[in-house]
Amino acid sequence: MRWTQYFINTLREVPADADVISQKLMMRASMIRKVAAGIYTYLPLGLRSIKKLEAIVREEMNRAGSVELSMPAIQPAELWIQSGRWQKYGKELLRIKDRHERDFVFGPTHEEVITETVRDAINSYRQLPVNLYQIQTKFRDEVRPRFGLMRGREFIMKDAYSFHTTRESLDETYQAMRDAYTRIFHRCGLDHVPVEADTGNIGGSASHEFMVLAQSGEDAVVSCPSCRYGANIEKATSKFFDDAPEPAPMIEMAPIHTPGTKTIDDVGRFLKRPTSELVKTLVFETENGPVMVLLRGDREGSEVKIKNHLGAQMLEMLGDAKFESMTGGPIGYCGPVGTKCTKVLADASLKGRANWVVGGNKRDTHIGGANPGRDFPAPEYGDFTTVFAGDPCPRCGNNLEIHRGIEVGHVFKLGTKYSEAMNCVFIDEKGERLPMIMGCYGLGIGRTVASAIEQSHDADGIIWPMPIAPFEVVVTSIGREESVVAMASDLYEKLKSAGIDVLFDDRDERPGVKFKDADLIGFPLRIAVGAKSLAQGQVEWSFRKDRAKQLGEPAAVLARVVDEVRKARG
Ligand code: ATP
Ligand code: MG
């Protein structure tokens, strides 16, 4: 491809509304163009990277035994009513009406359509398992679309779905999909970790997210540097709650006057005790009334864990307006002794401890020596807190680390949630009708391309991993001399014939402009042809990653560059 025939319009200025580096660089390098919030055009260069990643994904999915199909973006509401998600999905679901006023959605995901497809096609155990995938455009009306392709509203996803007669069969496919994901991200040169993820209300099933480690990541990833434990912060646990202190003798319960101590830190300062020795109270509103959660004073509550424990649909911090009437105590002084809350949970780290210091349900008052079971009903214990860096690993006890990560892929054992709701059944060997057991496997195409840039760039631009670079090599002519243009175009033609993805920068531009653009777009390899070196029978070549220039005879450079590309394709 010749630059002058192509469509590249690089920007010198950083776009004002770009938040993260991948977005800035993709916009500046003429890879994407914003059309509306979270909605982008993939310009020719961006589309090339996307298509290359899609090809890798296809190869690995096919290799793992998944079969490609393509489902519609627009789906009838009826299917979503069958699954129950028409009610539950909320505002991320874009609902549309056709000319007959019939309801449709623009698919944010395809469990409904695939379940109907398999339900209609398969009825015997002999036809299972099946594993189907597509690479397709989704729409999710995200609350805060941002970060370019990382959190768009319209985006491309690879989504696969598998159907099984047994849990063992699902386990096998789940592992095959995990292995395929590892190969895909490895081939793209991405530094990634698979971590355990929360399964929400579906419960009982396993789920893993693939995280690319990067500062700009929206997720927090907990990992152990000693063993292979890794989990999303929503799911991560630690051993820390196991080390309950020796049981102390119970003392008498007594109020403590604690004027003006609204926060746990105030109370700690006032009583001259570390907050770890005090008990903090959170109150949430749920569809089944208020729920009180007691934690060690130095820990943070995890809304996801609390919500899962309760199996609640709705969980929100109880607002100021209703607080006192619903709990029986003012904000800042609320506690379990004499509370109006009928549901009281306590973090496992409090189990076995005696003589709690808790809110006294009266202004400027706390209570010391409060004992569960004696002074208030014994709470339900569980893991309700977020892991902190330095907490002991649940597997090996070593200190956990917390890093930022970008979720690029998600594999999930769905179980029978959709097959039961949508009556997707098979007949087993004994003639019995059973719901199919399902798995689903998502991978964000645009998000993965963007995260490659997050991980690999410098002050001048992108440094592409070869397998997803829009072009593998750029040939740059410096100057207008006939011999220069002839040599550059000869190298370009030869690279093309060798099957290399090459762009010929044949523009009539100053060398500085051409080199700046080449660095910005980030072609992994560059060959530059200039009059001076050509007079010595040489051309220059360099890698984008270190930009160290090397000179050589054209034929030798050509052979070397072809070799380097082939080596780096992975
Ligand atoms: P997130 O928690 O980031 O919103 P999710 O859990 O909603 O992600 P899934 O429903 O599991 O995501 O979708 C599978 C994959 O699709 C994700 O791992 C991610 O790579 C990609 N993806 C999801 N939402 C978006 C989005 N808004 N923009 C770009 N890619 C997305
Ligand atoms: Mg989401």
> What is the rounded distance in angstroms from the CA atom of residue 140 to the CA atom of residue 108?
5
Question: Which among 144, 157, 181 is the best mutation to test ligand 1's pocket, defined by most ligand atoms within 8 Å of the CB?
Answer: 157
Q: DSSP for 331-375, please give it.
A: TTS--STT-S-SEEEEEGGGTT--SEEEEEEETTEEEEEE-BTTT
Helix (H) or strand (E) holding 541: strand 539-543
For residue 396, CA distances in Å to 23, 145, 235, 238 come to 39, 39, 17, 10
CA 113 to chain centre: 24
CA dist., res. 239 & res. 224, Å (int) = 12
Identity of the amino acid at 135: I
Do 334 and 344 meet the contact criterion of CB atoms below 8 Å apart? Answer: no
pLDDT at 164: 98
For residue 129, whether the previous peptide bond is cis, meaning omega lies within 30 degrees of 0, is: yes
Distance 156 CA to ligand 1 centre (A): 10
Q: Which amino acid is at 115?
A: T
For residue 199, the CA-to-ligand 1 centroid distance in Å is 14
- Structure-token pair, residue 469: 């670079």
Three-state DSSP class for 294? strand
Q: Give the model's pLDDT for residue 202.
A: 59
Q: Name the residue at shortest CA distance from atom 1 of ligand 1.
A: 407
Which atom of ligand 1 is found nearest the CA of 150? 29
Q: Which residue has its alpha carbon closest to ligand 1 atom 13?
A: 442
Task: Tell me whether strands 67-68 and 74-76 are parallel, antiparallel or unpaired.
Answer: unpaired
Distance CA 454, CA 191 (A): 11
- C-alpha of residue 206 to centroid of ligand 2, in Å: 18
Rounded Cα distance between 454 and 23, Å, is 9
Grouping H, G, I as helix, E, B as strand and the rest as coil, residue 224 is coil
Burial class (CB within 10 angstroms; exposed 0-12, middle 13-18, buried 19+) of 522? buried
Amino acid at residue number 69: L
| Dist. CA 445 → ligand 1 center (Å) | 10
* Nearest atom within ligand 1 for CA of residue 209: 18
Atom of ligand 1 nearest to the CA of 218: 3
How far away, in angstroms, is 391 Cα from ligand 2 center? 28
Residue nearest ligand 1's atom 12 by CA: 410
Query: CA–CA separation, 101 vs 99, rounded Å?
Result: 5
Each residue's pLDDT, cut to its tens digit, for the chain (570 residues) gives: 999 999 999 999 988 889 999 999 999 999 999 999 999 999 999 999 999 999 999 999 999 999 999 999 999 999 999 999 999 898 999 999 999 999 999 999 999 999 999 999 999 999 999 999 999 999 999 999 999 999 999 999 999 999 999 999 999 999 999 999 999 999 999 999 999 998 876 555 689 999 999 999 999 999 999 998 999 999 999 987 656 667 789 999 999 999 999 899 999 999 999 999 999 999 999 999 999 999 999 999 999 999 989 989 899 999 988 899 999 999 999 999 999 998 999 999 999 999 999 999 999 999 999 999 999 999 999 999 999 999 999 999 999 999 999 999 999 999 999 999 999 999 999 999 999 999 999 999 999 999 999 999 999 999 999 999 999 999 999 999 999 999 999 999 999 999 999 999 999 999 999 999 999 999 999 999 999 999 999 999 999 999 999 999 999 999 999 999 999 997
- Residues 6 or more apart whose CB falls under 8 angstroms from that of 491 comprise 475, 527, 529, 539, 554, 557, 558
> Ligand 2 center to residue 151 CA distance, Å?
9
The closest alpha carbon to 379, from 407, 418, 353, belongs to 353
Distance CA 362, CA 332 (A): 9
| End-to-end CA gap in the chain | 23
Amino acid letter for position 359? G
Q: Are the C-beta atoms of 453 and 460 separated by less than 8 Å?
A: no
How far apart are the CA of 108 and the centre of ligand 2, in A? Answer: 9
User: Which residues have any ligand 1 atom within 6 Å of their CB?
Assistant: 109, 140, 142, 151-152, 155, 157, 407-410, 442, 444, 446-447
What residues have CB less than 8 Å from 234, skipping those under 6 apart? 197, 198, 302, 304, 305
Rounded Cα distance between 435 and 315, Å, is 31
Q: Which of 558, 424, 537, 539 is nearest to 476 (CA)?
A: 539
CA of 342 to the centre of ligand 1 (A): 37
Which bound ligand lies closest to the C-alpha atom of 108? 1
Q: Nearest residue CA, atom 6 of ligand 1?
A: 410
**Contacts of 15 by beta carbon, 8 Å cutoff, 6+ apart:** 23, 24, 27, 28, 34
Atom number, ligand 1, closest to the C-alpha of residue 406: 3
What is residue 570's predicted lDDT score, i.e. its pLDDT? 75
Q: Classify 512 in phi/psi space as left (phi over 0), alpha (psi -120 to 50) or beta.
A: alpha
What's the token pair of residue 359? 């809110």
Give the ligand 1 atom nearest the CA of 108.
10
Strand ranges for 165-229 from DSSP E = 192-196, 207-213, 219-223
CA of 143 to the centre of ligand 1 (A): 13
CA distance linking residue 543 with residue 541, whole number of Å: 7
Residue identifier of the C-alpha nearest atom 31 of ligand 1:
444
Q: How many CB atoms lie within 10 A of CB 459?
A: 5
Is residue 402 helix, strand or coil? strand
In sequence order, the 6+-apart residues with CB closer than 8 A to the CB of 322 are 285
Which ligand has its closest atom nearest to the C-alpha of 199? 1
The model's pTM: 0.90
Q: Cα(28) to centroid of ligand 2, in Å?
A: 27
Q: Say how far apart CA 305 and CA 270 lie, in whole Å.
A: 31
What is the best residue among 141, 447, 451 to mutate for testing ligand 1's pocket, by most ligand atoms within 8 Å of CB?
Answer: 447
Answer yes or no: are the C-beta atoms of 279 and 366 closer than 8 Å: no
Give the closest residue (by CA) to ligand 1 atom 27. 151
In three-state secondary structure terms, 36 is strand
- Ligand 1: atom nearest CA of 448 is 20
Q: How far is CA 258 from the centre of its chain?
A: 44
Which residue of 185, 410, 441, 448 sits with most ligand 1 atoms within 8 Å of its CB, as the best mutation to test the pocket? 410
3-class state of residue 266 by DSSP: helix
Residue 564's pLDDT is what? 98
H helices within 2-43, ranges in order? Answer: 21-28
Q: How much distance in Å is there from the Cα of 246 to the middle of ligand 2?
A: 44
**Contact by Cβ (8 Å): 99, 165:** no
